[in-house]
Amino acid sequence: MDALKQAIRKQGRMMPGGIVKVDSFLNHRLDTGLMMEMGREIARRFAPSAPDLVLTVEASGIALAMATACALNGIPVVFAKKGIAANQSADMAEEKIYSFTHQCESFIRVDLRYIPRGSRVLIVDDFLANGKAVNGLMSIIRRAGAELVGVGIAIEKGFQPGGAKLREMGIPLLSLAVIDEITDAGIRFRDTDQEI
């Protein structure tokens, strides 16, 4: 998606260790116009799969999930919470995930009452790197007895294995921008058929 790639090139800040900071429009300050446009693109791709709800992880997935859900006629969003609940209940599904960005283990949890058995679930998140968050959400969908219809991502780090693994598994995946390489000279995006 061109508008997103332009924003990454123009506003992304390169950090040591292959990290691009997109704080200025995606995960601290939000460019709401771009966010809604991204949501419409993900919605257009997955509307034929008729998702019943969008599942994401707090905090930086929420805005894109909202934008996508609005473009899908206002279906609900469920966002997984991080950390361990003070009051665990039988309805809570918890998964351990490892964050590449923060270099630590953490937990995500979802109240299974909000993922009805048999419902069609679209996962949306801001980043896909090693795919630990998406895998955690997929486990939760299985535990809920629901069905995954696809995964919509803003920025995939193509040099990390998360995206490739999902494609191998045959899971429909739309990444609005795939970064294949970050060098001193700049960012190289993948030329994909899924280009919009």
Site for its own copies in 112-141 (CB under 8 A): 113-114
Could you give the CA distance from residue 164 to residue 161 in angstroms, rounded to a whole number? 5
Task: Give the separation between CA 39 and CA 135, rounded to whole angstroms.
Answer: 21
Instruction: Give the separation between CA 58 and CA 117, rounded to whole angstroms.
Output: 22
Does residue 36 touch its own copies according to CB under 8 A? yes
Token pair of 137, please?
């959400």
> Where do the H-state alpha helices sit in 80-184?
132-144, 162-168
Euclidean distance between CA atoms 67 and 160, whole angstroms: 26
Structure tokens at 51: 């998702």
**Between residues 94 and 111, which has the closer beta carbon with respect to its own copies?**
111
State which of residues 8, 22, 26, 35 lies at the interface with its own copies (CB under 8 A).
35
- Considering the complex, what minimum distance in angstroms separates the CB of residue 78 from its own copies? 5
Pick the binder of its own copies from 3, 11, 40, 81 (CB under 8 A).
81
Beta partners for residue 178, in sequence order: 156
Among 24, 130, 135, 192, interactor with its own copies by CB under 8 A = 24
Minimum Å gap between C-beta 191 and its own copies is: 30
Q: Does 102 bind its own copies (CB under 8 A)?
A: yes
Q: HSE-up of 37 (CA within 13 Å, CB side)? A: 15
Asked whether position 66 contacts its own copies by CB under 8 A, the answer is yes
**Residues in 145-174 that interact with its own copies by CB under 8 A:** none
Contact residues toward its own copies (CB under 8 A) are 23-24, 28-33, 35-36, 58-60, 62-63, 66-67, 69-70, 74-79, 81, 86, 102, 110-111, 113-114
